[in-house]
Structure 1
Amino acid sequence: MALKQYNPTSPARRGLILVDRSALWKGAPVKSLTEGKRKTGGRNNKGHVTSRGIAGGHKQRYRYVDFKRRRWDVEGTVERIEYDPNRTAFIALVNYGTDDAGKADVAYIIAPQRLGVGDKVIAGKKTDVKPGNAMELGQMPVGTIVHNVEMKPGKGGQIARSAGTYVQVVGRDRGMVIVRLNSGEQRYIRGECMATVGAVSNPDNANQNLAKAGRNRWLGRRPLTRGVAKNPVDHPHGGGEGRTSGGRHPVTPWGKPTKGARTRHNKATDKMIIRSRHAKKKG
């Protein structure tokens, strides 16, 4: 997909750069694969704001996406590529024929780059290395670019699902597969975990310029006030005479270190990390 630039016919159009989605399906999604979605406004079940900066946004329907790809050795045909408001990547509708009741057996998958309408995709223990095909990581050749990578067999893909992301298989060791993530982190993943060949579609998503605050509000994002612009009662950076920069150690409103300070610790999967994503920053 290419980027669309607009002429400055109004202030909201000046600088506007969006992804050209003219090649995507223009109709409604498959109703049986969707569900109504309620807005939370960032509130929990007690009505308290637990995620700031969330409110409004256009009404959305959730699309059920097949992250597990466990329909093994059944070839499917890509019917269309669709926009999904719930994620930055595009999704592909795959038709696997008809089921026992004679109804069309269809599913949504995350669309990889270079996957088009009419292409065949298949999932299995070992398949051809083609965009959209899914197989076990242990069966993939070293150097393969993959996405939608499982961390536990059968749980469904968790790594590299956002637009333009991918993971590279860089080696094997003791029944485990070594992968390199976009962040530079290298880690072990079990060889029985599934992954899909190719990089995720819509890589130009990061190059968009929304050009006006309202376009962010359509996406359900509210503006966030800087801590240094607040009073001391509202934020650790607040207060001070005149304009102040906020002190030596930047923190969140609740005093947790931020802007690069590491807060991750005691994770069960830390033992699977070979090289931290922070290693390149130490040199």
Structure 2
Amino acid sequence: MALKSYKPTSPARRGLVLVDRSSLWKGKPVKALTEGKSKTGGRNNKGHVTSRGIGGGHKQKYRIMDFKRRKWDVAATVERIEYDPNRTAFIALIKYDDGEQSYILAPQRLAVGDKVIAGEKTDVKPGNAMLLSQMPVGTICHNIEMKPGKGGQIARSAGTYVQLVGRDRGMVIVRLNSGEQRYIHGTCMGTVGAVSNPDNSNQTLAKAGRNRWAGKRPLTRGVAKNPVDHPHGGGEGRTSGGRHPVTPWGKPTKGARTRKNKQTDRMIIRSRHAKKKR
């Protein structure tokens, strides 16, 4: 997908750069594969804001996605590539030979009419899903499971991918986009190819309203608040917020490492912070 820039016919158009979605399906999604999605405004069942910066936005329908790809050895044809308001990637509607329809994440270079299949071992072709232990070393893949049968959790956002770099005693070694290298069990599923819409990060929205349409409210800087509202707040004149930046709840932020998960530490071979240590 290419980027589309606009002529500055108004202040909102000046500098506007969006992804060209003219080749996507222009109709509605399959009704049987959608369900209602109610907005929370970031509030819990007591009405208290538990997630800041959420509110408003355009009404959305949730597309039911197949992240598991456990319908093995049944070929499917790509019916169309669609826009999904719930994620940055595009999605593909596939129709199995037995007539069942499903939505999957659309990888790059997947076109309408292509055949895709999931199984224990399949051809290394974009859209095909198989066990990680059966993938050749060096394969680019996405929608990676972390637990067998749970469904893909890693590399689902637009343009992301994981590279399989080795095998070791029933496990595979993968390199993530962040630079982290880690073990994943070989019986987990993965889909060949990188996720579609790699230009998503190159968009320029040009006005605050476009973020409001996406349901994002403005966030106030901590240094602009009062001491009662934020650890960075208060002070005479303009202050920097102190030597150690923290969240509103006092946890270190902006680069400070707060990860504490001893159960999965042994799965990480090389940390994503390894370059920064040197």
TM-score between both structures, scaled by the size of structure 2: 0.99
Number of residue pairs the alignment of both structures matches: 278
| 2:181 counterpart residue number | 186
| 2:15 counterpart residue number | 15
Please say if residues 115 and 132 of structure 1, whose CA atoms lie closer than 8 Å, have aligned partners that are also in contact: yes
**Separation in 2, partners of 1:16, 1:158:** 32
| 2:196 counterpart residue number | 201
1:118 partnered with 2:110: no
Deviation at 1:267, TM superposition (A): 4.5
| 1:89 counterpart residue number | 89
Deviation at 1:97, TM superposition (A): 3.0
- Structure 1 gaps of 5+ residues are 99-103
Please say if residues 70 and 119 of structure 2, whose CA atoms lie closer than 8 Å, have aligned partners that are also in contact: yes
1:271 partnered with 2:262: no
Tell me the SS of whatever aligns to 1:268: helix
**Separation in 1, partners of 2:207, 2:147:** 41
Counterparts of residues 168-179 of structure 1 (less than 5 Å): 168-179=163-174
What value does the CA root-mean-square deviation take over the aligned residues?
A: 0.7
- Structure 2 gaps of 5+ residues are none
1:31 partnered with 2:26: no
What is the aligned counterpart of 2:155 among 145, 156, 160?
Answer: 160
**Separation in 2, partners of 1:42, 1:125:** 41
Deviation at 1:142, TM superposition (A): 0.3
**Separation in 2, partners of 1:234, 1:269:** 35
| 1:228 counterpart residue number | 223
| 2:65 counterpart residue number | 65
AA aligned opposite 1:167: V
**Separation in 2, partners of 1:119, 1:96:** 12
What is the aligned counterpart of 1:249 among 233, 244, 255?
Answer: 244
Cα 1:228–1:3 change in 2 (3 A) is same
Q: Deviations over 1:57-106 (max 9, x none)?
A: 000000001000001000000000000000000000000034xxxxx310
Q: Deviations over 1:122-170 (max 9, x none)?
A: 0000000000000000000000000000011100000000000000000
Tell me the SS of whatever aligns to 2:266: helix
**Separation in 2, partners of 1:254, 1:105:** 48
Deviation at 1:16, TM superposition (A): 0.4
Identity of aligned residues (%): 85
**Separation in 2, partners of 1:272, 1:139:** 20
Tell me the SS of whatever aligns to 1:277: coil
AA aligned opposite 2:80: R
Please say if residues 74 and 97 of structure 2, whose CA atoms lie closer than 8 Å, have aligned partners that are also in contact: no
TM-score between both structures, scaled by the size of structure 1: 0.97
AA aligned opposite 2:110: L
What is the aligned counterpart of 1:149 among 144, 147, 162?
Answer: 144
Runs of 4+ aligned structure 1 residues displaced above 6 Å come to none
**Separation in 2, partners of 1:115, 1:107:** 15
Cα 1:255–1:168 change in 2 (3 A) is same
Please say if residues 97 and 106 of structure 1, whose CA atoms lie closer than 8 Å, have aligned partners that are also in contact: no
Deviation at 1:46, TM superposition (A): 1.2
Tell me the SS of whatever aligns to 2:78: strand
**Separation in 2, partners of 1:158, 1:53:** 24
Deviation at 1:233, TM superposition (A): 1.2
**Separation in 2, partners of 1:267, 1:183:** 20
**Separation in 2, partners of 1:105, 1:267:** 42
